[in-house]
Amino acid sequence: MDVRIPVGSWIESGIDWIGDNLTWLLDLLGTVWTSLYDAVEWVVITPPAIAVIVVLAALALVARGWKFALGTALGLAFIIGVDQWDNAMSTLALVLVAAGLALVVGIPLGIWAARDTRVSATVKPLMDFLQTMPAFVYLIPAIAFFGIGVAPAMFATILFAIAPAVRLTELGIRGVDREVVEAGQAFGATPGRILRQIQLPLALPSIMAGVNQVIMLSLSMVVIAGMVGAGGLGGDVTKSLSALDTALGFEAGLSVVILAIILDRFTGAFGQKRGLHLVTRLRSAAASRASSPAAETEKVPA
């Protein structure tokens, strides 16, 4: 006797229920995501390409120095040379919006999980599920909810990329030296102030590693975005695959690689370790307070 658990049917019924009863919410999300994408795409496509290259090279110079600035300029010039500039900027807009939305949800959720063990216990299996599910599976509800275009690509990308933001934010906050937190508490700092001025600055390297991973995972979804009609470099990769056009495929693929390297180096620059001066200051202040005459006087009974 064959026994089959109809999990797929249950999920299909749930998706159908969402589509039937939450149409207003799906339409709102689709409109917001598409509007954000259009706005960012307009910002990066409307100016002349040389102007965008100059701005990005200047930011690269500030972030990591002249070598990174030169590499950024040459990489973007290569994208122009293979006639992929507009597609690259469309992909960049999609990645920035999708990664930004994933971070807006993921970082606060990671902070909440770090401060509440019950939330952490609930979030961890959910993140495991989202991170291990094959990316193409997300296209099924994405197309069912939003049809074809930018919105389903955004939906699938956010689900696929959000896990590192939650995990590494929680890991960074939980990894902050307990002595530093206790020093802040000794000086009467509120939990909110400890979070803002101690835990988040010291957890910044881990948080920025999560930002980096979210961006990289978002870029890995560009081909899937092309399959659902979002265009950009993913659209050309999809075309090259269907037509066996090796030249077009490698040109679009190399453009994706260049964008990935540039974004990776930018997030790496902002993820350098900061906050060690804060540790030293809090520890020295705590030590000086403990050894001060006033503190000794307080210990003597009146």
Burial of 295 (0-12, 13-18, 19+ CB in 10 A): exposed
Q: Cβ distance 218 to 98 under 8 Å? A: yes
Please provide residue 52's backbone torsions phi and psi, each rounded to the nearest 5 degrees. Answer: -65, -40
- Residue 149, sorted as left (phi over 0), alpha (psi -120 to 50) or beta, turns out to be left
- Out of 26-35, 60-69, 240-249, pick the least confident: 240-249
Which amino acid type is present at position 237?
V
Q: What is the pLDDT of residue 107?
A: 93
Strand (E) or helix (H) holding 249? helix 246-270
Q: Supply the CATH classification number for the domain 22-278.
A: 1.10.3720.10
pLDDT in tens, 185-229: 787 778 888 888 888 888 888 888 889 899 988 888 877 777 777
Task: Give me the chain's average pLDDT, please.
Answer: 83
Q: Cβ distance 282 to 183 under 8 Å? A: yes
Burial of 165 (0-12, 13-18, 19+ CB in 10 A): buried
Can you give the residue ranges of every domain in the chain?
A: 22-278
Dihedral, CA atoms, 60, 62, 65, 70, nearest 10 degrees? 30
pTM summary value:
0.82
Alpha carbons 106 and 101: distance in angstroms, whole number: 8
Alpha carbons 17 and 25: distance in angstroms, whole number: 13
Residue from 68, 18, 36, 73 nearest 51 by CA: 73
As given in the structure block, the two tokens for residue 177 are 């030296």
pLDDT in tens, 249-266: 888 889 988 998 998 888
Q: What is the pLDDT of residue 73?
A: 93
pLDDT band at 288; cut points 50, 70, 90? low
pLDDT band at 36; cut points 50, 70, 90? very high
As given in the structure block, the two tokens for residue 122 are 């609930």
- Out of 55-59, 63-67, 289-293, pick the least confident: 289-293
Please provide residue 92's backbone torsions phi and psi, each rounded to the nearest 5 degrees. Answer: -60, -40
- Residue 65, sorted as left (phi over 0), alpha (psi -120 to 50) or beta, turns out to be left
Alpha carbons 262 and 242: distance in angstroms, whole number: 29
pLDDT in tens, 128-145: 888 888 878 888 888 888
